[in-house]
Structure 1
Amino acid sequence: MRLSRIRSCILLLCLFGLIPVTRAFAADENAPATGKNFVVQARHGKSIPMRELPTIYIVDPKEMVDHEPFPSPFPLPNPTGRADAVRQVLPTFSGATPTIGANFEGLGTDLGGLGGDPPDSDGAVGSTQYVEFINTRWAVFNKATGAMTAGPSTLSALFASSSDTTLKTGNCAKYDNGDPIVLWDRAAQRWVVTQFAVSGAPVYDECVAISQTADATGAYYLYDFTYTAFNDYPKMGVWSDKYLITYNLFGPTGSSFTGTEVCAFDRTNMLLGNAANQACFTFPYPAGPFVYSLLPSDVDGNTAPPASSQGYFAGLTGLSDLVLYSITGVDYATGALTLNAGQTIPVTAFTQACQSNPGGYRICIPQPSGSGGLTQSLASLGDRAMFRLAYRNFGSYETMVFNHSVDPGGTGSGQTGVRWYELHQPTPNGVPSGSFSVFQSGTLAPSDTLWRWMGSAAMDSYRNIAVAYSTSGSSAAQFPSMSVVTRAPGDALGTLGNETGLFSGSASQLDVTSCGSGCQPWRWGDYTALSIDPTDDCTMWYINQYLSSAALFNWNTRVVSFKIAGCGDTPVAAAMTSPSAGSTLGGTTQTFTWNAGTGVQDYDIWVGTNAGGKDIANIDTFGALSTDVSGLPSNGQGVYVTLWSKIGGTWSQSNRYVYAATGSATPGVMSSPTAGSTLSDPTTFTWTAGTGVTQYSIYVGTTAGAHDIAFVNAGTGTSANNVTIPQNGATVYVTLYSLIAGNYQKQQVQYVAGGAASKATISSPVSGTTLHGGTATFNWSGGSGVTQYTVYVGTTHGAHDVAFVNAGQNTTSGAVTIPTSGTIYVTLYSLINGSYQYTTASYPCAP
């Protein structure tokens, strides 16, 4: 909240009852609906293009000290020294290393002059622009070059440009009280810019501007939402059909905490510049439930939330729980917003950063000593979740990430770290099922001398997570700076990789006691912003403050982009890492683990008793890299696993594995007919069942291993019925295959076909016929039960010095070159039951 020192004094007089505070609306002003502390319908209008606004510099920032966000009113127990059980002291190896991209100066001492103190550093990235909004000015930057293309100006100047009289003369056109938020509405390709105007008390306003196009320097639709309570520390998010916003409510002049409020703005009409309403729900204090500084869900990515997901609000409650509320209904006509009963999500217990600070504002962050030995500890705002509640829909589950500042040592005054969370809710078939739970969490607090706080978290489209934050310490050169830590989806749950410095400050913020009444030298933040580039859904943009020279009112802001390794690379499906393919499973319950792949959004594992089967298990792990499968067989049979990877919203890739179940397996054994017996036509073959066999196949052929007579896939049956058997007295070869753990074991059995076998005889040319021309083709009648024919042609009986022909089961020799004189002798061999029988013929030869 932006207040001058003079106005601060007036409000203090109001606080102590020296000036009466009354609620008086002008005759043309919309009054709040009965029982509500807000006006349902916003005043609205249009602006001129932002680039046509006057450039506005703040000459004396000491006159623009931002109202300090009120601390949580809920009492906490004294810190017990309990260590943080999920503290990460050492970084883990991670492939998710960030590469720095843009790195340019934002608004502040070195660019455009100062605004208020602190800056409330906030910004968002769009298709071609980066928009920064700090206390109390905003500007537009070319994101490719970092050049400021419009501004700095104020939001009040934008409202003052409206032709609508109520906006042009209203509080939004008069006051720039700060707590700014800027968002990029990816689905609509629009900018959303907001701040509150509270200097017009007892009317309190939230001033919202929606760009009319994707160009942030263009014209805006303007909306002024009004309240009868002080709407402190607003936080805003974009949802598919609404804009969400949260407030901590205080009485006139901030005299007392009266509750927490969550609201939905009518996004559909706001995007059109039409009249728009708000619907709100208030958590009254002290009636309860006790909630404070809730964050609204803010959509990242190209996939909209499920139709039945209407938006979420999350925050801290106590020291070992999160609280999450879901919207269940919105009535813009009456202003009624309906929530569910609220979900308490247990988390690992924590101690708030600077919890022991007696002033209640969580002030204990050290800095290096400044000139003259002056030192000043900074505020951590450890009593609340930090902006944003970054939301993504991966189709089969929803996820949200956010953070807050903690004391991992549990003293309430020791080194601070960043606690971060990833929440999941299953959405099978695109419909939310069950409830949100903590998928993973951790506390980043390395064993060094740096303090970490004031973070912002986000996730890219490849499920890499980044948490960016401020760092500071008491040692020389540990000036307040900007850092980020990242993780890949394949990293161990609850861990982050190495820390990367984004920008280093070079001075401390000093305790300048001469700054006068209202001076708040401990102020830092009060929040920062990490946003996702919509052009690649990978690059992240972070804004925070730093100092280049020691003083109180001389901060700078810095905008830095980075991209985590792997994001945007060619997707690669996940691969099983344990157990090893082909190995024997450890029992009837087995843990299967796999790597993350590249660009994989979710995993589904099928486990079955046949290839591609899922008769044992079909488990969507909702992003987890392992799962337990129970009900596995114990007979040594094959177990077939298909690991599916969801890429680009589609279950498009899979890897398949075969394992052996625990226990021993035996193949089937042929039982009927008896080996060596004579087969009739047709014949039914039966066998005894083995153990662990997932499929039986039977080959019937005229040679060993052949299936020229029959091939039968019996599945898990134990018979091959009515197989046609030639009745020619030939040997019949039967092979029984048993599929066990992906490998076939076989049994071979020989039989004799019924009927009599007979050898073939040459039918042409007729024996004794004189052959002319130097070539001849010999043909014969088919024998019975013959599995191979061979022809010898020679100049003496039984010889093959003229020709040798292996005809297989053909009944012709093909053209054979013969002499043009003398006599040739032809021997035709018929292979019957493994033995050759023959007939002969002879022919005189002539030219």
Structure 2
Amino acid sequence: MSFRKCKATGILMSLSLCAFAQAAGPAGTSVSAGVQIGEPVSAVSIDVDLRDLPVAPAWKPGMAIKEAHKRQFFAPNRPNAALPSWIETSPDRLPELQSMWDDSAVGQLRRGQPQSRVSINNASTGVSPGDPVVDVSANYIMYGVNGSSGTSFTIYDKTGTKLAGPTTFSSLAPAGDGCRTSVSDPIILFDRLANRWFLLEMGGTSSAAKMCIYVSKTENPVSGGWWFYGFSTPALNDYPHCGVWNNAYVCTDNEGGSNVAVYAYDRANMLSGATARAQQRFATVPALAGYGFQALTPATFMGDSAHAPPASTRQVLVRHNDDEAHAGGSANTSQDYIDIYTINIDWNTPSNSAITAQPDIAITEFNSWFRDYSTFATVPQPGSTSRLDPIREVILNSLVYRNLGSYESIVGQFATNQNAARSGTVVDSGIRWFELRRTGGGNWTLQQEGTYSPGDTSTHHLLGTIATDNKGNIALGFNKTRTTSPTAYASLGYTGRMASDAAGVMTLGENMIVSGSAAETSGRWGDYYQMAVDPTDDCTFWMVGMYRPSGSWNTRIQDFKFSDCGTAPSTWSVSGTVSTSTGVGISGVTVSNGSVSTTTNSSGAYTLSSLANGSYTLTPSLGGYTFSPTSRNVTVSGANVTGQNFTGTAASNIPPTAGFGFASNGLTTTFTDASSDSDGTIASRSWNFGDGGSSTATNPSHSYASAGSYSVTLTVTDNGGASDSETKTVTVTDSGNVLQNGVTVSGLAATQGNSLNYTMQVPAGASGLTFNMSGGSGDADLYVRFGAAPTDTVYDCRPYASGNTESCPISTAQAGTYYVRIKAYSTFSGVSLTGSYTLVGNVAPNADFSSTSSGLTANFTDASSDSDGSIVSRAWNFGDGSTSTSTNPSHAYASAGTYSVSLTVTDDDGATDSVTKSVTVSSSNCVPSGTVLCNGSTVSGLSATRNNWTSTYTLVVPAGATNLSFNISGGTGDADLYVRLGAAPTTSSYLCRPYTSGNSETCSFAAPTPGTYYVRLRAYATFSGVTLTTSYTP
């Protein structure tokens, strides 16, 4: 699905489809005049025990390091947005406050108080950067990381024992979906209000990007099952960040442009596996000038259901604003800001959804100048000129929200250069952390802030991650480097503060988890770390981050707990069953208490966990059922509550009534569904157009090949499974809506939602085929498709721009019928349409070939030519009843002899030519020569530079052979093995391509098809000294 860019034209276009960019208004005003709406997305059920899935291959030292998706840097909206460097700003005094605490007697005594229990080390995956993330539930730890075979996750129990994985995200996606292509950037969040897991990764391609989302069916991520949802995005969703809220999953990313992107997803339906209502996309918060990489960060809920966000609290999105970097001469040199926005999602009436600016929050001056405002890797390491990337542009993962009863709290952190200069190359990296608070439904205000980086100017802290426990204590994780003695390579540690401590300082000292021992040379580092709090006690922190031992980076998952957080708050469960009147359990029923929900299992049993003492109303729901009682009031008071049972009755279903209307324009008819269902909804539609064509769309358009009368049938099925059909006769005529080459059709008009349809016959040999639309008023959209009428979602070309000036150039025209559609995005008139092409005479091709023989195998080389075009197809006849359409085929004859071989070639204008030659083969044994391989052949010393191929080798495999194997091994670098039957393999066409890191790869075939196998190696990274071996059992 595409999102179109809309221009403010003075006429308010459909709010549900377009949003207009505005400058940020006064606090409390909407910065979003609407929301862009996608398409509903159906769930795909994933019912698999993850222990049964293949494990992602491990990276080993010596293998190539592959770079993950690059951070996307777009041209800044205003490149010269910075305040001149000679103008001084107020200094950041917060590091001095931290130093005073660290040096005090009390500060010395408070060090080392947190207690740790579990420490899980994870080896490098051979990708830079790792992007490690972690979250925890009552019984599981889920850890995500980038990998050479795709983004993956691993599941541990709470003692650190591995239960499943590493499993690639893409292995869970359905076959054929764009999410089978993994990009990078894992997101893992435990939804504490629903007791479920939320996973997201970047998927698809740059031209067909996807948000790939997985929502667990239970708290058990190993065998409890998942729901998959794949949402299309208009641009590659670089560097996503997500937050859990009570009414939506909200995600942000870096897409470039004049505004930042925000997405909202239908949490309620996704938790139950229902069709997710259309994603809502906001792109109207103005981007900060001067940055080519930026994104908002959404708050995510932490806590239990008894401390869910109040109904009046909307989810918050924030960013830091170093106005010396963005506001030029209007910058305030005495303070900087946190920009804060709230998002309101209305799933029933999307036009009510909006992002609203809140009052900016003034904070102490910080400095985003790290050697400049655009270079990524800037933080020094000892003994190396390579530097680490502090991700200075955004508030880092995660922004954590808590409802602490008497007040609400948000904590976050970002990078700052403690060197105040805004020129030069001196970097003194620190972490600016902050806490915002809100009481009584008022505005968010700054409670406290600090800059953390103890030590001298050669000591650097970066890549923070932060969270709070249920007492309001704050923990801060980080990396540390130091370039002077005693040196520190990229190491991992944490600090923290008690809620009762003096504001603005981390009071619990620098607690190092693991120390590094080598410099990272890739320039990529970290990107994501994560801190979470264990829901079992709401006190224990879990964090993950990278550090750099020798060889390659590793990650470490660590838990720790502050001494004053106490014992776990008492929580309880409510359980029961949902069954029919005969006692048969009903699965898939959602039981909710208003803020927490769960789903019944196959026996109809359910349990709502982690409930504090209090009164709750339980309500079951499942489409097609009524329940008795409709709800239950239950009080939790110091004990688990059982026996909260419901009886479900399948509702009697009134069948739907099918009906439709239609309007014909030439050979094209547009159908409008008028069906109804008095006691439910229409769940699906099936159209039969009477000419073999069909559709499941609501209001399809269909173009017939010829004039005549057709019997059209619509069958509708309701949500209870009942169906009804209606049949009508549709007559279409060839009314002259046919475009002639170079002849313009003018004065075209249509009302919103309606279409005009044309056809154009294009002969063989046509070139420069182009369809142009222009002029008039309103907004028309041009669609072009070869061989069939285009639809809203199926077309060869659709520019989809604002206004009426659109063009569809067809690079390689096919002979036949092109179908052209002009659809009214809004009512238009006075539009012109032209189709044109150039036709020249054609010179027939010249067929020719050469051949060589080795034993019973003949190798053929096409030497055909076409003076005014190209050869588009070949037809070989080998004289023994066998044929091929390959360019340069090999053929194994069954017996020695002389055969008449013919080649027929066809050019791009349909002309043909043939040639016949005699080929002689003998029955001598295979003799390896050059690139010809035999059974048991070995080729040593293979090499190639990055992205280049070796020579192509061939092996003839006779009928009856078994256990065919091609193997590469040894050498240095990273070679990829490609094997194909009948033709040389390419990067997109192959029979086998293991595609692992390093040079140890095998392609095996237990029962191979007889014929000629083509083998070659491609350099993922420059390699040499590789050995290729072949074998089969005759």
Common topology (TM > 0.5): yes
- Which residue is 2:163 aligned to? 149
Quick one: which amino acid aligns to residue 439 of structure 1?
Q
Counterparts of 2:349 and 2:113 in 1: how far apart (Å)?
A: 47
Residues 507 and 40 of structure 1: is their aligned pair in 2 closer, same or farther, counting only changes over 3 Å?
A: farther
Q: Provide closer, same or farther for how the CA distance between residues 486 and 96 of structure 1 changes in structure 2, counting only shifts above 3 A.
A: farther
> What amino acid sits opposite 1:264 in the alignment?
A
In the TM superposition, structure 1's runs of 4+ consecutive aligned residues that sit over 4 Å from their partners are 32-38, 58-61, 78-82, 94-98, 284-291, 332-336
1:101 matched to which residue of 2?
116
SS in 1 for 2:421: coil
1:466 to 472, 475, 482: 475
Using the alignment, how far apart are the partners of 1:72 and 1:91 within structure 2?
43
Distance of 2:203 and 2:403 partners within structure 1: 34
Aligned counterpart for 1:402 among listed residues 404, 407, 412: 412
Where does residue 68 of structure 1 map in the other structure?
71
The structure with the largest alpha-carbon Rg is: 1
User: Is the alpha carbon distance of 1:40 and 1:310 closer, same or farther for their aligned partners in structure 2, counting shifts above 3 Å?
Assistant: farther
The residue aligned with 2:254 is: 248
Percent identical pairs in the alignment equals 26
Would you say 1:424 and 2:437 are equivalent positions?
A: yes
Displacement of 1:342 after TM fit?
3.4
Instruction: Tell me the distance in 2 between the aligned counterparts of 1:438 and 1:72.
Output: 33
Contact 1:81/1:409 (8 A) holds in 2? no
Aligned to 1:689: none
The answer for the alignment partner of 1:499 in structure 2 is: 509
Q: Could you tell me which of 466, 473, 483 is aligned with 1:457?
A: 466
Higher RCO, 1 vs 2 (CA within 8 Å, ≥6 residues apart): 1
C-alpha separation in 2, matches of 1:61 and 1:84: 42
Alpha-carbon distance between aligned partners in 2 of 1:342 and 1:72, rounded to the nearest angstrom: 28
Corresponding residue number in structure 2 for 1:123:
134
Alignment-mate amino acid for residue 447 of structure 1: G
Question: Residue 319 of structure 2 corresponds to which residue in structure 1?
Answer: 315
Question: How far apart, in 2, do the equivalents of 1:470 and 1:228 lie?
Answer: 35
Give the residue type in structure 2 aligned to 1:42.
V
Equivalent residue for 2:869? none
2:314 match: secondary structure: coil
Cα 1:472/1:193, change in 2 over 3 Å: same
Return 60-69 or 210-219, whichever deviates more.
Answer: 60-69
By how many angstroms is 1:379 displaced?
1.0
C-alpha distance in structure 2 between counterparts of 1:395 and 1:41, whole Å? 37
Question: Which residue does the alignment assign to 2:447?
Answer: 439
Aligned to 1:328: 344
Measure the CA separation in 2 of the matches of 1:375 and 1:294.
32
Please point out which of 169, 172, 178 is paired with 2:179.
172
Q: Describe the SS at the equivalent of 2:221.
A: coil
Once the two structures are superposed, the pairs formed by residues 696-775 of structure 1 within 5 Å of their partners are: none
Give runs of aligned pairs for residues 228-243 of structure 1, distance below 5 A. Answer: 228-243=234-249
* 1:563 is the counterpart of 2:564: no
What is aligned with 2:153?
Answer: 139
Q: Counterpart of 1:472 in structure 2: which amino acid?
A: T
Count of paired positions: 501
CA shift for structure 1 position 426: 0.9
Name the TM-score, length of structure 1 as normaliser: 0.56
Give yes or no for contact 1:209–1:220 (8 Å, CA) kept in 2: yes
Alignment partner of 1:490 is 2:483: no
**Alpha-carbon deviation of 1:545?**
0.6
Q: Deviations over 1:616-667 (max 9, x none)?
A: xxxxxxxxxxxxxxxxxxxxxxxxxxxxxxxxxxxxxxxxxxxxxxxxxxxx
Contact 1:102–1:146 (CA under 8 A) maintained in structure 2: no
Deviations 1:65-120 (A, max 9, x none): 331253893643355575312222244546585434244334333xxxx1521011
Partner of 2:919: none
Aligned partners of 1:176 and 1:196 also within 8 Å: yes
Deviations 1:534-593 (A, max 9, x none): 01100001100112215xxx211100110012101599xxxxxxxxxxxxxxxxxxxxxx
Q: Secondary structure at the match of 2:515?
A: coil
Q: Which residue of structure 2 aligns with residue 181 of structure 1?
A: 187
Give yes or no for contact 2:547–2:553 (8 Å, CA) kept in 1.
yes
What is the CA distance between 1:362 and its match in structure 2?
4.0
Q: Distance in 1 between matches of 2:288 and 2:428?
A: 35
Aligned match of 1:415 in 422, 425, 428?
428
Q: Does 1:203 align with 2:208?
A: yes
How many angstroms apart in 1 are the aligned matches of 2:240 and 2:64? Answer: 22
One-letter amino acid of the structure 2 residue matched with residue 323 of structure 1: D
In the alignment, structure 1 residue 384 sits paired with structure 2 residue 400: no
Give 1:29-48 correspondences, 5 Å limit. Answer: 33=17, 39-47=38-46, 48=48
Among 212, 215, 228, which residue is 2:217 paired with? 212
The code of the aligned residue for 1:237 comes to G
How far off is 1:525 after superposition? 0.9
The AA in structure 1 aligned to 2:244 is: V
How big is the shift at 1:46? Answer: 1.4
Residues 231 and 444 of structure 1: CA distance in aligned 2, closer, same or farther (over 3 Å): same
AA matched with 1:172: C
Match of 1:751 in 2: none
Residue 279 (1) aligns with residue 292 (2): no
**C-alpha distance in 1, partners of 2:376/2:185?**
19
SS of corresponding position for 1:210:
strand
Q: In structure 2, how many angstroms separate the alpha carbons of the residues matched to 1:508 and 1:78?
A: 38
The CA distance in 1 between the partners of 2:206 and 2:37, in whole Å, is 13
Structure 1 residues 705-729: Cα deviation after superposition (integer angstroms, max 9, x where no partner): xxxxxxxxxxxxxxxxxxxxxxxxx
**Match of 2:548?**
547
1:351 maps to 2:361: no
Residue of structure 2 equivalent to 1:259: 259
2:268 aligned counterpart, secondary structure: helix
Structure 1 residues 157 and 115: alpha-carbon distance in aligned structure 2, compared to 1, 3 A threshold? farther
CA–CA separation in structure 1 for the residues paired with 2:136 and 2:43: 26
- Kindly tell me: are residues 279 and 61 of structure 1, through their superposed partners in 2, closer, same or farther at Cα, counting changes over 3 Å? farther
Kept in 1, the 8 Å contact 2:201–2:213? The answer is yes
Q: Distance in 2 between matches of 1:289 and 1:414?
A: 20
- What is the DSSP-based 3-state SS (H/G/I as helix, E as strand, rest coil) of the residue aligned with 1:51? helix
> How big is the shift at 1:482?
1.0
Aligned partners of 1:318, 1:72: CA distance in 2, in Å? 19
SS of aligned partner of 2:253: strand
Q: Distance in 2 between matches of 1:194 and 1:506?
A: 30
Check conservation: 2:539, 2:568, Cα contact below 8 A: no
Give the 5 Å matches for 1:74-113.
Answer: 75-77=81-83, 80=88, 82-87=90-95, 88-92=98-102, 93=106, 98-109=113-124
Q: State the secondary structure of the residue aligned to 2:172.
A: helix
Residue 269, structure 1, aligned to residue 260, structure 2 = no
Contact 1:40 1:332 survives alignment (8 Å): no
User: Are the aligned partners of 2:89 and 2:365 in contact in 1 as well (CA < 8 Å)?
Assistant: no
> What is the distance in 1 between the residues matched to 2:90 and 2:427?
12
Cα–Cα, structure 1 residues 445 and 506, in superposed 2: closer, same or farther, change >3 Å?
closer
Distance 1:210 1:418 in 2: 33
The answer as to whether partners of 1:280 and 1:337 remain within 8 angstroms in 2 is no
CA distance in 2, matches of 1:181, 1:316: 22
Counterparts of 1:640-651 in structure 2, within 5 Å, are none
Deviation at 1:217, TM superposition (A): 1.1
State the Cα distance separating 1:240 from its structure 2 match. 1.4
Change in Cα spacing, 1:178 to 1:207, as seen in structure 2 (3 Å) is same
Unaligned runs of 5+ in 1: 1-21, 25-31, 161-167, 251-256, 512-520, 572-847
Instruction: Tell me the amino acid that sits aligned with residue 217 of structure 1.
Output: V
Contact 1:477 1:506 in 2 (8 A): no
